[in-house]
Structure 1
Amino acid sequence: SDSASVMIGKNNSVLSWIKQQSNSVYSLPCVFHISHLAAKDAVKAIPKPVEDLLVDIFYYFTGSAKQYQQWCDADELQLIKHGGTRWLSLCQAVAGYNNQWEPLKAYFGSSSQIEHPGRVQRINTYMQDEEMHLYFLFLEHGLDDLITYNMFFQAEDSRVVYLWEESVKLLKTLLNQFVKSDVLSGTSDVTMVNFQDLTNQKENKKLSIGIKAKLFIAANTDIDNSTLNKFYGGVRMIYSAAVQKLLKRLPIADKTLQALGLLHPPKKLEYDPGVTKLDEW
């Protein structure tokens, strides 16, 4: 379920009603909902109003984009609307803006409306901001692991036996993007990694920011260190927010879920009833 109280609450919920009929019912949270919540928290951690810029540009062109198309001699303006409840679709929306960033930036920068408070002035200010541009480039990469996890379970066959293993893998992968390797290798329990301690995090240049953000930084050597440091700090907050939400929501400590992994075909071959006793779990 999506973990709402109406679904799994102790009193007067769907789950409590079902358990009245059969107390052996086992409930699992919805991994799709969890991954979306993690993406939401990650985006909310960005210290720049990325969502506001997406919404402002999209609605500026709602109805007609002919003036822009004529201005830049483009056949079509391809922008995807970002829905506030579909956080994992954000990277698709961001990619469309990144592909047209420079012409959009030039278009709004040349508008006579930038002298007056309002949407155009706001868009122009955001698009001139190099830190904002870096976050847009990063977001094409930063949500990839959550999307991969989400897509893995969108299969016709049941994959519940993989849930614990894939959830642990997701956490390890995200932690590896910003936490030092020796810190990760020195902790067997992924839930016990002290990822918020800055001394356990990688130095700026070793953070995983994606190829597009790296190329942009390499090509724009005049970006001041203050902007870069703010961006790298934001990247740390984004990854930390996603991991924190996953640790809170994913059923990593669920012994039943761990035991289900034994039904995974390769694990079944390794199963030794003398070593693994499910009745003790």
Structure 2
Amino acid sequence: MATITHASVQRLCWVKECTDQWQLSSRRESGALDPGSSAPSKAGPHRQQRYRKEWEADSALKPWLQDVSNDPLKAKCRVCIVVIVVELTALAKKLQERKFSVMCDESTDIGSVKTSCVVVRFFYVDSLSVESKFWELYDVCNADDPESVERGATGKSLYEGMMKTFKDHNVPIKNMIGFGADGCSVMMGVNNSVSSHFRSDCPGLVVMKCICHSAHLCASQACRSLPRRCEDLAREVYNFFKCSSKRQSEYKQFQSFCDLKPHKVLHPSQTRWLSLVAVVQRLLEQWEALKLFFSEKWLTEKLLAIELIINSLHDPFMKLYFMFLDWVLPNFTEFNKFFQSDKAVITVLHDKVSMLFRDLLLSFMDRTYVMKTDLNTVNPERRDRHLSDSQMYLGVKVMQGLNNPSIQEKKAQQQEFFQRCRSFLVVACTEIKKRYNFNDGVLSKLNCLCPKNALSSEFRERIPSLFPLASELPLIVPPDDHSLLQKLDDQWRMFPILQHELKNLVNESPDKFWGEVSQKESSFSDLANFALTALCLPHSNAECERVFSKVNLFKTKQRNRLKTRTANGALLSASCIKGSCVHFTPANDMFSRINNHAQLFQNIREHEFDLEEDS
């Protein structure tokens, strides 16, 4: 039975391959395909394939293949559907019992179908960690529902669609403590957005903008302060090579001559969070080889595009701008990478944002002003606190490049360079301050849940009570539950006495740490449960982006008619299996459902997955 489940789950992910196999077998029998051929005949007319009972005699298909009643043009995998139902049922049962946060995003796939992805984040007792789990992928505009088509992707329709997914599985809305999404108006707008409906229907719910989206937008906005020709150079170089195998082969000779690795020139994408810094670093690495290559091309081809590129590559200030970007962009990239993690890193979010903001400020503003002024009141545009051009810090490479005689003799261009770099830093800091509230009542206090701070007696002198944080989370600790509030405070004050017993867990992640406390120290169970619930708050929307990336892997140009419910089933199966299906051990509930034929056919009717016709 376990072997059947493994094979069935694999086939769910590649259902079209099964369809092709049936079509191939049928065409061979009908004479449309030669017995020894492996490809369909192009001369044969296309026809709709009906289900054939003969297929069930095939030993490879018999254990899992099943017809669909009242529809001879469809077939089902009897085991895969059960796996999907069990996974969703088990996840719904967990959400019915504990607090959780929800993350949402929308996207349009290659088939021009707009879908919304819902991910839930909760504490998983079995692994003693906070995990993000895929919940559902559904159509925003359902052709079977004219009202949804007319409304479109509005905040209200997205909110109602999301809430319907929870109501259908009897998940109580009162268990929801947080909502996370990107900062677009339909998600985070003041009026008629998803977040505004959440605030209206769920008072006290914590709404978080994705910090990764925010960091990317800050860097993108700041890059507009630099000359447009910097971006033009990156795009023109990429476009010159992208469609020509001959040019790429010729360029490899110049790379070999300059003793460089044969790396390709990268594409500067506007939507990929981490692409820009990689493009800058690759151009700087290949700068000399590119100069030689385009110099030779200019002598032989005399193209306008080559003239623009060669002029930029021989401009010393152009390289200086790229050196500046090579220093400043990794600050955003490393920050972004850190918070793309699905681990419980929300406890350090405030400190990380403060560190990034202060580091950028210190590169162009007076140190005393930055260090002694509250970050929420610092004004990056305050000119009287700006450093002079010679005092600004723009990276080691820029400092070395400024010693170039060809740069020192051009005072006007040198002044423009400093002015644009200063503008970049001012805009970046202004955008960070606009998108993040340094006085946020929740994020500014969550660092007390870090293991090191929680066990520190010195930290108690600064944070003697947990009440300020608990009062900001009314959906975790009801304001009128004074008994629980007092228990939390008493346990918080006494918790440092476990410093010696828990010293081996200080370096663990916060969720692992508090999970172990909840298992070992019953006298601190209320404090541990509060911490684990607070750690479920979303810090980024990266998990939703990963779901859409998975969809793009199996919904391709060749499979653009794949139904959203089929994709949803594949994602649920992948979430259930976690890795290779060969080592997957089905739960007892799965076997019981497989053996229960009445339940099986009921699940088939409720979760139909259309097999695509080979058109």
Q: Do the aligned partners of residues 154 and 280 (structure 1) sit closer, same or farther apart at CA in structure 2, a change above 3 Å counting?
A: closer
Moved more, 53-62 or 101-110: 101-110
- Cα offsets for 1:191-218 (capped at 9, x unmatched): 3223223332222233222222222222
Structure 1 residue 29 displacement after superposition: 0.8
Structure 1 residue 255 displacement after superposition: 1.4
Contact 2:225 2:423 in 1 (8 A): yes
Is 1:154 aligned to residue 154 of structure 2?
Answer: no
Q: In the alignment, which residue of structure 1 is the partner of 2:71?
A: none
Structure 1 residue 36 displacement after superposition: 0.1
Is 1:173 aligned to residue 173 of structure 2?
Answer: no
Q: Do the aligned partners of residues 280 and 89 (structure 1) sit closer, same or farther apart at CA in structure 2, a change above 3 Å counting?
A: same
Contact 2:364 2:392 in 1 (8 A): yes
Contact 2:238 2:265 in 1 (8 A): yes
Q: In the alignment, which residue of structure 1 is the partner of 2:211?
A: 31
Q: In the alignment, which residue of structure 2 is the partner of 1:66?
A: 249
What TM-score comes out, normalization by structure 1 length?
0.88
1:190 match: secondary structure: coil
Q: Do the aligned partners of residues 191 and 271 (structure 1) sit closer, same or farther apart at CA in structure 2, a change above 3 Å counting?
A: same
Alpha-carbon separation, structure 2, partners of 1:113 and 1:44 = 35
Structure 1 residue 101 displacement after superposition: 1.1
Matches within 5 A, 1:58-137: 58-62=238-242, 63-64=244-245, 65-71=248-254, 73=256, 76-110=262-296, 111-112=298-299, 118-137=304-323
Matches within 5 A, 1:105-254: 105-110=291-296, 111-112=298-299, 118-187=304-373, 189-218=374-403, 220-223=404-407, 224-254=410-440
Structure 1 residue 121 displacement after superposition: 1.5
- Structure 1 residues not aligned, in runs of 5+: none
Structure 1 residue 66 displacement after superposition: 1.9
Q: Point out the structure with the larger helix share.
A: 1
Q: Do the aligned partners of residues 199 and 15 (structure 1) sit closer, same or farther apart at CA in structure 2, a change above 3 Å counting?
A: closer
- Structure 2 residues not aligned, in runs of 5+: 1-180, 473-615
Structure 1 residue 50 displacement after superposition: 1.3
Q: In the alignment, which residue of structure 2 is the partner of 1:41?
A: 221
Moved more, 145-154 or 9-18: 9-18
Structure 1 residue 236 displacement after superposition: 0.6
Q: In the alignment, which residue of structure 1 is the partner of 2:196?
A: 16
Alpha-carbon separation, structure 2, partners of 1:42 and 1:237 = 8
Structure 1 residue 136 displacement after superposition: 0.7
Alpha-carbon separation, structure 2, partners of 1:225 and 1:244 = 28
1:49 match: secondary structure: helix
Alpha-carbon separation, structure 1, partners of 2:378 and 2:185 = 30
- Give the % identical residues: 26
Q: Do the aligned partners of residues 82 and 274 (structure 1) sit closer, same or farther apart at CA in structure 2, a change above 3 Å counting?
A: closer
Q: Do the aligned partners of residues 274 and 198 (structure 1) sit closer, same or farther apart at CA in structure 2, a change above 3 Å counting?
A: closer
Contact 2:361 2:425 in 1 (8 A): yes
Alpha-carbon separation, structure 2, partners of 1:194 and 1:134 = 28
Structure 1 residue runs of 4 or more that deviate by more than 6 Å after TM superposition: none
Alpha-carbon separation, structure 2, partners of 1:135 and 1:210 = 11
Cα RMSD (Å): 2.5
* Rg larger for: 2
1:27 match: secondary structure: strand
Alpha-carbon separation, structure 2, partners of 1:222 and 1:129 = 10
Moved more, 74-83 or 107-116: 107-116
Q: Do the aligned partners of residues 250 and 103 (structure 1) sit closer, same or farther apart at CA in structure 2, a change above 3 Å counting?
A: same
